[in-house]
Copies of this chain bind each other. A is one copy, B any other.
């Protein structure tokens, strides 16, 4: 069965487009951080949870499941006792994570400019400029 949406040009701006769904998974608060962490190498669940400071166990599990379903993250269960579950990026996930990492590097590198803009905005708005 072919999905009629397959014939359209994908656009994240269209609310029902699958590409908007995957963008939301990739750039959602925890999805983006999980992908960026996995960009540095594979992780076991608890190590990833420590790396992504502030995420709950439940939210991280849901986030990884959505990324796995999108084909961006691979979940590998090793037959050890106890079983060891490791998460890593698929080739497509690695490409997405690399783009995301560039964005993160830019924002981390320019955080001084962002702080200055926030201070100015807060000053202007406290003074009732607008």
Tell me, rounded to whole Å, the shortest Cβ–Cβ distance linking A35 to chain B: 10
- Do B106 and A103 touch (CB < 8 A)? no
Q: A29-B28, A51-B13, A69-B122 are in contact. Are A99 and B96 (CB under 8 A)?
A: no
Say how many copies of this protein the assembly contains: 2
Bound: A18/B59 CA distance, A: 21
Chain A: interface residue count, which band? 35 or more
Expressed in whole angstroms, the Cα–Cα distance for A10 and B6 within the complex equals 41
Q: Which residues of B contact A53 (CB under 8 A)?
A: 13-15
Q: Contact: B14 with A118, CB < 8 Å?
A: no
Instruction: Give complex CA distance A71, B102 in Å.
Output: 19
Where the two chains meet, the residues of A that have a C-beta atom closer than 8 Å to any C-beta of B are: 3, 6, 10-15, 17-20, 22-24, 26-29, 32-33, 36-37, 51-54, 68-72, 92, 95-96, 99-100, 102-104, 106-118, 120-122
